[in-house]
Amino acid sequence: MQLEEEKIDARYVGTLVQLMESQAYRELAAARLFGFGLTLVPELRWLKFISFHIQEETEHYDNVARMYCELTGESVEPAVNERIRRRPIAYPRSWYELGMAQFLYDRGGYWQLREYEECSYQPYRRVVVKILREEKGHQSLGERLVVELTRSGRFEDVKQACFEQWLREGLLSFGRPDTEGSRYAISVGIKRRDPGRVMQDFLDDIKPAVKACKLAFPPLESIGIVGPATGLDLSLDGIDETKAEGYL
């Protein structure tokens, strides 16, 4: 959907500003998270990957910041820094937790961005398509790392708590389902679907790894997540865990 120029009113612009500030926050938070995580990396092969990931997230932050400035004539940094002050991203405390963060926080962001691939605001669409193209190549690495480490049996005492913490961070990427603001964004073609539907796609995507690791989805309210009114399918019945990256 391409919006006619005369229909780009104050609410449309305000919605874009809010989305860009949220996206810039996620990109900078990810860069900082993985930057901190460098101290936890045990092997050169993973050091190369995490270092590249930091550089990539920083570039994505720059892409969003430039787009924001072109739209508003202002820097996004004050808004992002204030958001980080109010809601700082957690830092991982172990290599295992860094893997879980890369798997769930990064995967959540990927699914969230896919809803803007056909955004009616072309500059946003161009940036999103670029980020998705660059993110797609390493979506499986965090999953593989988590599955391999968990199946080693060395993290039984921490795996569920670690999973729940980073599942929450991943799900927070989507925003609150069933809101009037979300319905407006869909109606003007800024995004495609309500957050509740995207949450379900994300959960379905990670189910093979969840089952392979013998993890359990917690009740979402217990981790501070508001799901859609229709609920979400958290069942692992019929899921083939051998489909998880790193299973074999």
Q: Above pLDDT 90, what percent of the chain?
A: 87
Q: What is the pLDDT of residue 32?
A: 94
**Rounded-to-integer distance, Cα 50 and Cα 150, Å:** 20
- 71-82 mean pLDDT: 96
Q: What is the pLDDT of residue 5?
A: 52
Q: Do residues 212 and 151 make contact, with C-beta atoms less than 8 angstroms apart?
A: yes
Q: Do residues 114 and 132 make contact, with C-beta atoms less than 8 angstroms apart?
A: yes
- Report the Cα–Cα distance between both ends of the chain, in Å, rounded: 43
pLDDT tens digits, 141-171: 889 999 999 999 999 999 999 999 999 999 9
Other CB atoms within 10 Å distance of the CB of residue 160? 15
Where b means 16+ CB within 10 Å and e means fewer, 92-114 reads beebbbbbbbbbbbbbbbbbbbb
**Full residue range of the structural domain in which residue 239 is found:** 5-243
Q: What is the pLDDT of residue 7?
A: 62
- 65-71 mean pLDDT: 97
**Rounded-to-integer distance, Cα 240 and Cα 238, Å:** 6
Is pLDDT larger for residue 136 or for residue 23? 23
Q: Model confidence at 4, in pLDDT bands (50, 70, 90)?
A: very low
pLDDT tens digits, 174-225: 999 999 999 999 999 999 999 999 999 999 999 999 999 999 999 999 999 9
- The CATH number assigned to the domain holding 81 equals 1.20.1260.10
Please count the structural domains in the chain. 1
**For residue 1, pLDDT beyond 50:** no
Q: What is the pLDDT of residue 241?
A: 97
Please, which residues have CB within 8 angstroms of residue 39's CB and are 6 or more apart in sequence?
A: none
**For residue 8, pLDDT beyond 80:** no
Determine the angle formed by the axes of helices 44-72 and 122-136, rounding to 10 degrees.
180
Q: Do residues 216 and 29 make contact, with C-beta atoms less than 8 angstroms apart?
A: no
* pTM to 2 decimal places: 0.91
Residue in the structure block whose two tokens are 């700082």:
88
**Rounded-to-integer distance, Cα 71 and Cα 65, Å:** 10
Q: 248 in a domain, yes or no? A: no
- 24-38 mean pLDDT: 94
**Rounded-to-integer distance, Cα 113 and Cα 185, Å:** 14
Q: Do residues 64 and 127 make contact, with C-beta atoms less than 8 angstroms apart?
A: yes
pLDDT tens digits, 226-243: 999 999 999 999 999 999
Residue in the structure block whose two tokens are 């202002």:
74
pLDDT tens digits, 90-114: 899 999 999 999 999 999 999 999 9
The tokens for 71 are: 């739209």
